[in-house]
Amino acid sequence: MKVTLNRNAFLAELATVQRAISSKTTIPILTGVKIVLSDEGLALTGSNADISIETFLPVTDEKAEMHIETTGAIVLQARFFNEIIRKLPENHLSLEVLSNNQVSITSGKAAFTVNGLDAESYPHLPVIDEKNQLKLPVRVLNKLINETTFAVSMHESRPILTGVHFVLNSSELLAVATDSHRLSQRVIPVEQAIEDFNIVIPGKSLLELSKSFKDEEELVEISIMENQVLFKTANMYFYSRLLEGNYPDTNRLIPTSFNTEIEFQVPELLSAIDRASLLSHEGRNNIVKLSISPDSVILYGNSPEIGNVEEALSYKNVQGEALDISFNPDYMKAALKAFGEGEIVVKFISAIRPFTLEPTDTETAFVQLITPVRTN
Amino acid sequence: MKVTLNRNAFLAELATVQRAISSKTTIPILTGVKIVLSDEGLALTGSNADISIETFLPVTDEKAEMHIETTGAIVLQARFFNEIIRKLPENHLSLEVLSNNQVSITSGKAAFTVNGLDAESYPHLPVIDEKNQLKLPVRVLNKLINETTFAVSMHESRPILTGVHFVLNSSELLAVATDSHRLSQRVIPVEQAIEDFNIVIPGKSLLELSKSFKDEEELVEISIMENQVLFKTANMYFYSRLLEGNYPDTNRLIPTSFNTEIEFQVPELLSAIDRASLLSHEGRNNIVKLSISPDSVILYGNSPEIGNVEEALSYKNVQGEALDISFNPDYMKAALKAFGEGEIVVKFISAIRPFTLEPTDTETAFVQLITPVRTN
């Protein structure tokens, strides 16, 4: 294998596969990046127990300025390799596999010789049947990930809740996540005639996936096998394992009739909650109190040691019964961040029943649920 | 005490005194910021065992938009107070001391009430005789700090070496730091007729001082007492304790005759050393080797596990005997960074004697010393 190419184009690919490479793995070859040079271009692969990423830099990509002398393959220790490439003196570099899996990396007057591993011993990625593919713009999938993944559980006591539940049902795709204290559910229309599916993807995989995309306007093709999902774009294959087990039936958790409703601007409510949480974070229970009456909506935060805060909230509209309700402000902050800049309606039943948050724009099928904290 | 003022102007002062406030102190009142409001303006004080900072925001400062209703003083828990001010909804805020050392902080519709401490119980700062003051532009002092402080020792085994030695001697100020493996010494001319001094200032204090200055063109007045030094600018008093004990005689360490000399461009040498250190950092000894001959200067780095690197260095001029010398690249990197962008001459005696680095511009009295590593 011998090739010269543009350093920055190569670094961008390395950065992507590096998301899947952990230095903590117990399988030594997985600390490496697999490099395969064919007549078509350069494929890089990184992998860990949860995800695998394969990128392809085509020889036809002008930015890559790639000149292939001989094809071949090698595995190089990823962290060092990346550091070395990053610090090379010139904008171009040459890679050449010498004997005994040694690799020469040269740029300007600097000549590195590093020890590699035989590419044949790198594990094979799963083969996924690409017949039943859901196609979505990257932008749409990224939004779905941002709107749900924050609500997955961080605890392994119920592993299935560490993932996002995706259900494709004839004409719509539902994504829902819950850690049993709060829930976020988004439904988007789908206009493709493909087989229904019902899978749970680890939240961590989705966050890495979202960061790995380079072009929001590209299409991503989603293919599912028994225990794997593949997200495929023009130059990237992103594999994730699926979580096994039955996801709880979350649909019955979402209430449909309410006694009190208020409309808020998201950014203003978010900054008030943020202020109140400064004090609640120091209290033992981390709760803030919302006191709703027909002519005022007041937020309270308190810490016995530091002090307290009280703020009359700006709201657009309040309807229904007066209510005092306490909740964890961190769940509220995360929920509000997922809505972005718009307006929401918050709907309550009582001080001890979960309340919902939805965009006032009723065309967006997006609902969040937060369980209040009993204070008496 | 009651005052309204501009939030950003206040935050800037808070950020400065916060450099002296540690949440880890064993003296509870020192986790607080002392606020003293007089008819002239607002003084803030923060303090720890090593440094104390006092800033003053004058009522005449237009950016402060300060309106004083009643004067007074209070101590508030610094970390929270800063967070609260930072997250207030409006650009203005009011502070009012209520009964029992409680303080009301209001801005827009948000009203905080926080618990303070009696300002009378805050420790007094040292009184320093301001008669014998050295005056320097902040820019000059900052440069001196950057050129020396990196070379202080990080180990408490010889506490005196954790400071920078400053010696004022009739018409010049010498600053020198060494950790016994490397040394950095800078001398600047001084045109003031003041008493000579000979002090050691903790390196950590100097780094905080350097970050606390806001205006490089201001003058700083330096006053010294038995165990304290005060750096005073228009609106800041910065106190540091001095280190006790005798600083070693470093002058005799700096050699004056050499056998080999090379001139380098600093940025180019620095990036080559950086590349070689990628590999040396993985070896047991963290050393790189420089091989000097009349027609080439080659840098080698090596790690038995990862590989090796070899680079023919660009240099301007080489004179004297051929030499192979090994050294810790991290000392070299730190030394080169202190020189900035210019040209230096590196002078060697032999493979086992310390070598020096100096600007080729001979008007700058700046010399660094690095002890090589014996490899046989």
Res B174: pLDDT = 96
- B320 Rama sector, left if φ>0, alpha if ψ -120 to 50, beta otherwise: left
Q: Spell out the CATH class of A2-121.
A: alpha beta
The strand pair at B92-97 and B41-47 is best described as unpaired
Q: For the CA atoms of chain A, what is the radius of gyration? A: 25
Mutate to test the interface with B, among A7, A91, A269, A275 (most CBs of B within 10 A): A275
- B300 Rama sector, left if φ>0, alpha if ψ -120 to 50, beta otherwise: beta
Q: Are the Cβ atoms of B113 and A313 closer than 8 angstroms?
A: no
Q: Any long-range contacts for A172-177 (C-beta under 8 Å, 24+ apart)? A: A173/A134, A173/A144, A175/A144, A175/A147, A175/A148, A176/A148, A176/A250, A177/A148, A177/A149, A177/A150, A177/A151, A177/A152, A177/A203
Of A284, A268, A375, A286, the closest CA to residue A331 belongs to A286
CATH 3.70.10.10 occupies which residues in chain B?
Answer: 255-370
Instruction: State the DSSP H helix or E strand holding residue B209, giving kind and residue range, or none if neither.
Output: helix B203-212
Report the mean per-residue pLDDT for chain B.
94
- For A177, the 3-state DSSP assignment is strand
Res B319: pLDDT = 94
Query: How close, in Å, is residue B161 to chain A by CA atoms?
Result: 33
How far is Cα A105 from Cα A113, in angstroms, rounded to an integer? 6
Are the C-beta atoms of B12 and B43 separated by less than 8 Å?
A: no
pLDDT tens-digit series, residues B182-214 = 999 999 999 887 889 999 999 999 999 999 999
Please, is A76 exposed, middle or buried when counting C-beta atoms within 10 Å of its C-beta (0-12, 13-18, 19+)?
buried
Are the C-beta atoms of B235 and B56 separated by less than 8 Å?
A: yes
Q: How far is CA A8 from CA A65, A69, A236, A269, B227, in A?
A: 10, 20, 17, 43, 54
Whose structure tokens read 């935060």?
A301
Of the options 3.70.10.10, 3.40.50.300, 3.40.630.30, 3.30.930.10, the CATH number for the domain spanning A256-370: 3.70.10.10
Joined together, the tokens standing for residue A323 give 């209510």
The mean pLDDT value for B88-108 works out to 96
Query: How close, in Å, is residue B291 to chain A by CA atoms?
Result: 15
Q: Which of B89, B308, B314 sits opposite A271 (nearest CB)?
A: B89
Residue A81 DSSP code = H
Of A153, A148, A159, the closest CA to residue A209 belongs to A148
pLDDT band at B160 (very low <50, low <70, confident <90, very high): very high
Q: Which of B111, B115, B274 sits opposite A310 (nearest CB)?
A: B111
Q: Which residues of chain B are within 8 Å of residue A80 when distances are taken between CB atoms?
A: 278, 282, 306
Joined together, the tokens standing for residue A306 give 């530091």
Largest Cα–Cα distance in chain A? 81
The strand pair at A72-77 and A32-38 is best described as antiparallel
Query: How close, in Å, is residue A9 to chain B by CA atoms?
Result: 20
Joined together, the tokens standing for residue B225 give 């007492």
Of A204, A186, A161, A151, the closest CA to residue A331 belongs to A151
- B101 Rama sector, left if φ>0, alpha if ψ -120 to 50, beta otherwise: left
B315 close contact with A: CB closer than 8 A: no
Q: Which of B83, B278, B310 sits opposite A278 (nearest CB)?
A: B83
The mean pLDDT value for B33-48 works out to 97
CATH number of B255-370: 3.70.10.10
What is the DSSP annotation of B313-367?
Answer: PP-SEEEE--EEEEE-HHHHHHHHHHHTTSEEEEEES-TTS-EEEEESSTTSEEE
pLDDT band at B257 (very low <50, low <70, confident <90, very high): very high
Q: Which of A113, A306, A309 sits opposite B111 (nearest CB)?
A: A309
Low-confidence ranges of chain A (pLDDT < 70): 376
How far is Cα A351 from Cα A374, in angstroms, rounded to an integer? 7
The contacts of residue A68 (CB under 8 Å, 6+ apart) are: A2, A3, A37, A39, A59
Give yes or no for residue B146 having a pLDDT over 90.
yes
Joined together, the tokens standing for residue A330 give 């961190």
Chain B residue with CA closest to A88: the answer is: B275
Res B91: pLDDT = 96
How far is Cα A292 from Cα A276, in angstroms, rounded to an integer? 16
Q: Are the Cβ atoms of B109 and A313 closer than 8 angstroms?
A: yes
Dihedral Cα A43, A47, A50, A53, nearest 10 deg:
-20
How far is Cα A161 from Cα B125, in angstroms, rounded to an integer? 56
How far is Cα B97 from Cα A106, in angstroms, rounded to an integer? 68
Q: Are the Cβ atoms of B311 and A115 closer than 8 angstroms?
A: no
CATH 3.10.150.10 occupies which residues in chain B?
Answer: 2-121, 133-251
How far is Cα B317 from Cα B294, in angstroms, rounded to an integer? 10
* Overall fold of domain A133-251: DNA Polymerase III; Chain A, domain 2 (3.10.150)
How far is Cα A163 from Cα A248, in angstroms, rounded to an integer? 12
Residue B276 phi/psi, 5° resolution?
Answer: -65, -30
B305 close contact with A: CB closer than 8 A: yes
pLDDT tens-digit series, residues B22-40 = 988 888 899 999 999 999 9
How far is Cα B316 from Cα B329, in angstroms, rounded to an integer? 21
Give yes or no for residue B376 having a pLDDT over 80.
no
Q: Are the Cβ atoms of B305 and A114 closer than 8 angstroms?
A: no
Mutate to test the interface with A, among B306, B313, B315 (most CBs of A within 10 A): B306
